Structure 1
Amino acid sequence: MRLGIQLGYSGEGFAAAVDEVVEFEAAGADLVVVPEAYSFDAVSQLGYLAARTSRMELASGVMQLYTRTPTLTAMTAAGLDYVSGGRFSLGLGASGPQVIEGFHGVAHDAPLARTREVVEICRRVWRREVLVHQGEHYRIPLPTAFGKPLKLINRPVRDRIPILLAAMGPRNVALAAEIAEGWQALFLDPAAMSRVFGPALAEGLARRDPALGPLDIMVPLPFAVAEPTEPLLARHRAQLALYIGGMGARGRNFSNDLVRRYGYPEEAAAIQELFLAGRRDEAAAAVPGRLVRSTALVGRTPELRDRIAELAAAGVTTVLVSPLAPTREERIKDVAELKQVLIDTPL
């Protein structure tokens, strides 16, 4: 199982976070993932990380499907793969209508069909094919007097950059299992994996091209080598409340839908009502403790071994941890200890 580091949304602490990532790399971390949402873009930060690291892989987590043309997405991924020496993976996601329509002013329509077309176009660009694509949502070149089929000028480091699709809904998960090298999950409860995601994964894997290799299942987790106390997990509890309650409108919130499928329909409804009413502390308090603990990786070393074994049994192949320890020294130590647990635990 690979050990990744999940960075938070960029801000004033980015330079210090990168300094820490360099130490995480020395401690054995295999991967660093940079989100985007409606903060600073992920691309500029990934370029900076490419220059500051030497071994670990880099991934977007995730670049948004609607905010770049498919061709620019492919060009950007090829550029990041070039400056990192072949260490980049393209994490893509549809985000949600509040961000795409509210912040970017672009219609959030047909996410499944658009994802499939974008992935197809990217792979053609990386193979340096003369690009002609006549899809339902993208037409390249446009049928104008000046539209001319072109191919990428540069020769990419790799003609197949790994694509990681973020997905929560059954149809999105099935699509990721079918066409992507990896699936980026969110708030994954391994005990519910087979019940909630099993049918979708099986559907997608049945259509998967064997040339893609095994599906890399990636899970972000707040992490600490410590007792799972309420104060330590408070930030994770607040994040769950934010996503379940506020990342979307009533009837259009993917995290809320997921928690309902986990078996918390009443709690999901209550969290959303409280959050949208501005009662955020009460919304966080309403998040079930079992959900908080099952979607985190916090415990002493014996408990961590058991949790890693549980995640592996559920099919997880990469953990993306957000270290919770209060000091940098403790966070580096915890990541090194987790790396040793991954080495020592038979999976």
Structure 2
Amino acid sequence: MDVSVAFPTALSTPEDIAVAEHLGYARAWIYDTPQQSPDVWMTLALAAERTEHIGLGPGVLVPTLRHPMVNAAATATLAALAPGRVAVAFGTGFTGRRAMGYRAIPWSYMDAYIRTYRALLRGEVVEWEGASMQMLHPDGHAPARPVDVPVLVGALGPKGDAVARELGDGLFVTLAQPEFMSAYSWVPYLAWGTVLDEDEEQDSEHAREAAGPGWALAYHGAYEFGGPDAARGLVGGDAWMDTVEKAPPGRRHLAVHVGHCVELNDADAAAWEAGGHTMVREATLTGTRSEIRDRLHELATRGVTEIVFQPCGPDTRGELERFLDAAR
């Protein structure tokens, strides 16, 4: 199993990726969340200049945030800056859309978008929104077409599986582990958590800072996919939901997603204090070194070929070192 890293895109991310390369991580994926992050493509370009061999890619792009020509041109640019190191993953949008009050995009749109994007990179003339277009970049403006970059698709259900099988080079997975992932030869699995010392309690300050933001996704996901009752059904869920409901109905998505994958927001902190921290091992890849190794072995038997670890908390390098040591 390859060991890769993910970052919620920040101004420090290019240097963080350089650190990950130095430590030995295989690939760096960064998030396309413009409502809380710097531009994903600008950040990857800066990372390309600071690194030599680590793989680079957006994980995941949300199609409705950009015209397919924009993502194709940006992909070609990054491929020129980091030849042979680029992969691109697409998803229907969790925080990238829901934090702005939108729902996930339909799979029919994803299918059409990826077909158009890949055809543009091959140099073909495509039809999009009723118009014909083609990458017209002359020499020195982009690599010659075709630009061959692997494309992965983030999917959890049968519709996404069908799109990934036909149009993707792999399956990008997070939040759950679908049974069909064993059918793919390349399966990055995005996970959060931390390595605990042997005698460390799972509600320690270190665990709260390093595993808490990933643990909070259990509440974010329950609310977004199952509604308030699903969130209240979790340990500490009443405290979480009561805090979210202090916001006006039309702005509750802001209360849910603020701090997403970076820090605990007010609702997350309330749930943690109300006993939600007891779920941290269940909800994240958190445990002692031996427990982490056992979990990774289990993931490998289920079809994961690349673990993608997102560090959280104030000590990014320390978290990267601890996890890589456990994974190895």
The SS at the match of 2:195 is strand
Corresponding letter in the other structure for 2:212? R
The equivalent position to 1:277 in structure 2, one of 245, 254, 274, is 245
Matches within 5 A, 1:78-89: 78-89=76-87
What whole-Å deviation, never above 9, does each CA across 1:256-314 have from its counterpart, x for those lacking one? Answer: 57x96xxx882287476234224613334467556421343333332232121111112
Q: Is the 8 A contact 1:224 1:324 kept in 2?
A: no
Q: Alpha carbon RMSD of aligned pairs, Å?
A: 3.5
What whole-Å deviation, never above 9, does each CA across 1:197-245 have from its counterpart, x for those lacking one? Answer: 22x558xx5xxxxxxx72423222223263462223324335443x454
- Counterpart CA distance in 1 for 2:131 and 2:3 is 39
Matches within 5 A, 1:128-143: 128-129=123-124, 131-133=125-127, 138-141=129-132
Matches within 5 A, 1:299-318: 299-318=287-306
Tell me: CA distance 1:289–1:184, structure 2 relative to 1, closer, same or farther (3 Å): farther
**Residue 185 (str. 1) matches residue 176 (str. 2):** no
Corresponding letter in the other structure for 2:8? G
1:180 offset after TM fit, Å?
1.8
The equivalent position to 1:267 in structure 2, one of 226, 230, 234, is 234
- Counterpart CA distance in 1 for 2:117 and 2:293 is 39
The equivalent position to 1:233 in structure 2, one of 207, 213, 227, is 207
Tell me: CA distance 1:90–1:140, structure 2 relative to 1, closer, same or farther (3 Å): farther
Q: Is the 8 A contact 2:32 2:96 kept in 1?
A: no
Corresponding letter in the other structure for 2:107? L
Q: Is the 8 A contact 1:31 1:58 kept in 2?
A: yes
1:133 offset after TM fit, Å?
2.9
Q: Is the 8 A contact 2:152 2:168 kept in 1?
A: yes
* TM-score w.r.t. length of structure 2: 0.75
1:29 offset after TM fit, Å?
0.5
The SS at the match of 2:5 is strand
Q: Is the 8 A contact 1:177 1:215 kept in 2?
A: no
Percent identity between the aligned chains?
19
- Counterpart CA distance in 1 for 2:134 and 2:17 is 38
1:31 offset after TM fit, Å?
0.7
Q: Which residue number in structure 2 is paired with residue 323 of structure 1? A: 311
Tell me: CA distance 1:93–1:176, structure 2 relative to 1, closer, same or farther (3 Å): same
Q: Which residue number in structure 2 is paired with residue 43 of structure 1? A: 41
Aligned residues: 296
Q: Is the 8 A contact 1:246 1:275 kept in 2?
A: no
Tell me: CA distance 1:186–1:158, structure 2 relative to 1, closer, same or farther (3 Å): same
Q: Which residue number in structure 2 is paired with residue 221 of structure 1? A: 192
Matches within 5 A, 1:101-116: 103=100, 110-116=105-111
Matches within 5 A, 1:245-260: 245-246=219-220, 253-254=224-225, 256=226
Tell me: CA distance 1:169–1:288, structure 2 relative to 1, closer, same or farther (3 Å): farther
User: Structure 2: 5+ residue runs without aligned partners?
Assistant: 247-265
- Counterpart CA distance in 2 for 1:109 and 1:293 is 28
- Counterpart CA distance in 1 for 2:21 and 2:107 is 35
- Counterpart CA distance in 2 for 1:222 and 1:100 is 24
Q: Which residue number in structure 2 is paired with residue 176 of structure 1? A: 164
Matches within 5 A, 1:135-154: 138-141=129-132, 149-153=133-137, 154=142
Tell me: CA distance 1:286–1:20, structure 2 relative to 1, closer, same or farther (3 Å): same
Q: Is the 8 A contact 1:27 1:335 kept in 2?
A: no
